């Protein structure tokens, strides 16, 4: 029962639906406005768009803190502006390879999956593109083969997971082992030197004072941002990760999209393989060791929800840069990598806590304050 209606307006509303836009009831609008006004001057802070931005602000805070620590501990170096600029560039260069991998990883995690095989794919693609046979085709052949290998391995991951119904963790763990094995087989466990000047130049050359690797990172990040925030692909990614059943019932092809996500991650690994090969002027089966951990950690620190459905590219980028800055901080202070790893672990926990706990209570605090002052 309880089928009751406001005779004055409901009929109009119902009838108005098929039309382009029904007239807005002025009383309703006023009421809505009032409610919004109750939100007060801090409403931007609470706004829907604000949430990601808020997180990223926290990460920038962490970054600034790290730089301040650097400046305090090595004030001698920081007093030289040229050194500071060079140091910034070296941090970005350090971040570039993992950064590219992290962009792909971010998509996979937002889409509700995980890719443990990224480091192995980078190694396989790197080894594949530096064999004597591939190098004989020149830079174009090397780039093509790296991208193709990355894409192909990503597709296999995707097929196993979406159509083979394997759990992502298991499928990509198996791929991690298999791809490294294949890389070792191909390279015969040797280091394969790259003789290609174009490829090697990607790491050693700069444009307008900025290393080319940093441009590649910027391009991948920009493309990833657009893809996630402005395209139907990105929208599907969030839907598939946020609630796969809802996505399926809305007519989204969840399996195909999952497949594409792993392919995208593989493609990013292919790009990273070229960059890493350029940096080392060589490739070997053990390269890009534990990149999967770095990429996952960076994405999580950047606010990507491990259970899927939420995450930002900018956050992931900040995560990667924070890690690179820590590494740099330890390097300029001449500290051991062991200590560095311990601090990294701490930073992961701290960053997540800062985002979750601190910001919730800060929001609450601001809220309460607003209430008492108005």
Partner 1 sequence: MSDEQPEETVVTDAPLVEAPADTVAGEVVLRLTDVVKTFPGVRALDGVRLEVRAGEVHCLLGQNGAGKSTLIKVLAGVHRPDSGTVEWRGEPVTFANPQAAMRAGIATIYQELDLVEDLSVGENAFLGHEPRRLGFVRRGHMARRTRQILGRLGHAEIPPNRMVRSLPAAGKQVVSMARALSHEARLIIMDEPSAVLAHDEVGNLFRIIRELTAQGIAVIYISHRLEEIREIGDRVTVLKDGRTTAANLPARDTPTRELVSKMTGRTIEYVFPDRPAEPPAGDELLRVDGLTRAGEFADVSLSVRAGEIVGIAGLVGSGRSELLETIYGARRADAGTVRVAGRALRPGSVGSAVRAGLGMAPEERKSQALLLGEPIYRNVTLATFGRYSRAGFTDAAKERAEADRIAESLDLRPRDVRRPVRTLSGGNQQKVVVGRWLLGDTKLLLLDEPTRGVDVGARAELYQVIRALAARGVGVLLVSSEVPEVLGLADRVLVMREGRVVREAPATELDENTVLDLVMAGSLMEGAPA
Q: Which residues neighbour 152 within 8 Å (Cβ) at sequence distance 6 or greater? A: 266
| The binder of partner 1 chosen from 167, 250, 353, 362 (CB under 8 A) | 250
For position 242 contacting partner 1 by CB under 8 A, the verdict is yes
Q: Which bin fits 127, alpha (ψ -120 to 50), beta or left (φ > 0)? A: alpha
**Quick one: 35 or 208, whose CB is closer to partner 1?**
35
**Quick one: 99 or 311, whose CB is closer to partner 1?**
311
Nearest CA among 304, 308, 305, 290 for reference residue 344: 290
Q: Which residues neighbour 360 within 8 Å (Cβ) at sequence distance 6 or greater? A: none
For position 5 contacting partner 1 by CB under 8 A, the verdict is yes
**Quick one: 108 or 326, whose CB is closer to partner 1?**
108
For position 54 contacting partner 1 by CB under 8 A, the verdict is no
| The binder of partner 1 chosen from 26, 41, 232, 336 (CB under 8 A) | 232
Site for partner 1 in 280-319 (CB under 8 A): 309-310
CB of 234 to partner 1, least distance (A): 8
**Quick one: 250 or 335, whose CB is closer to partner 1?**
250
Tell me whether residue 34 is exposed, middle or buried, using C-beta atoms within 10 angstroms of its C-beta: 0 to 12, 13 to 18, 19 or more: exposed
CB of 114 to partner 1, least distance (A): 19
For position 165 contacting partner 1 by CB under 8 A, the verdict is no
Measured distance CA(312)–CA(333) in Å, rounded:
32
Write out the two tokens for 328.
């740099």
Measured distance CA(131)–CA(187) in Å, rounded:
7
Cα–Cα distances in Å, from 124 out to 117, 142, 187?
10, 13, 9
Chain residues binding partner 1 by CB under 8 A are: 1-8, 10-11, 13-18, 20-22, 24, 28-29, 32, 35-36, 38-39, 43, 46-49, 230-235, 238-239, 242-243, 245-253, 309-310, 363, 367-368, 371
């Amino acid at each position: 029962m309880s089928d009751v209606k406001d005779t004055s307006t409901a009929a109009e509303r119902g009838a108005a639906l098929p039309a382009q836009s029904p007239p807005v009831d002025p009383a309703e609008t006023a009421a809505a406005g009032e409610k919004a006004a109750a939100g007060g001057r801090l409403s931007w802070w609470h706004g829907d768009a604000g949430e990601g931005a808020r997180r990223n602000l926290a990460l920038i805070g962490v970054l600034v803190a790290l730089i301040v620590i650097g400046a305090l501990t090595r004030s001698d170096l920081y007093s030289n502006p040229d050194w500071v600029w060079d140091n910034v560039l070296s941090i970005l260069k350090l971040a570039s390879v993992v950064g590219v991998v992290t962009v792909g990883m971010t998509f996979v995690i937002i889409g509700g999956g995980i890719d443990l095989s990224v480091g192995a794919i980078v190694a396989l693609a790197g080894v594949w593109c530096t064999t004597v046979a591939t190098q004989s085709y020149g830079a174009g052949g090397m780039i093509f083969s790296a991208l193709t290998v990355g894409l192909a391995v990503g597709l296999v991951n995707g097929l196993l997971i979406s159509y083979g119904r394997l759990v992502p963790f298991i499928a990509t763990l198996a791929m991690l082992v298999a791809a490294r094995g294949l890389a070792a087989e191909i390279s015969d466990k040797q280091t394969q030197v790259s003789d290609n000047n174009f490829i090697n130049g990607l790491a050693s050359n700069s444009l307008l004072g900025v290393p080319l690797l940093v441009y590649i990172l910027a391009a991948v990040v920009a493309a990833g941002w657009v893809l996630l925030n402005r395209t139907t692909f990105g929208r599907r990614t969030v839907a598939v990760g946020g609630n796969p059943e809802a996505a399926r019932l809305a007519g989204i092809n969840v399996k195909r999209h999952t497949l594409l996500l792993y392919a995208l991650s593989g493609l990013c690994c292919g790009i990273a393989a070229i960059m890493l090969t350029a940096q080392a002027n060589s490739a070997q089966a053990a390269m890009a060791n534990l990149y999967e951990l770095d990429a996952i950690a960076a994405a999580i620190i950047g606010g990507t929800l491990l259970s899927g459905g939420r995450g930002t590219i900018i956050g992931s980028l900040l995560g990667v840069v924070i890690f690179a800055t820590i590494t740099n901080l330890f390097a300029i202070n001449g500290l051991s990598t062991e200590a560095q790893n311990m601090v990294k672990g701490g930073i992961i926990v701290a960053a997540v806590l800062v985002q979750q706990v601190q910001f919730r209570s800060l929001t609450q605090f601001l809220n309460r304050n607003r209430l008492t002052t108005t």
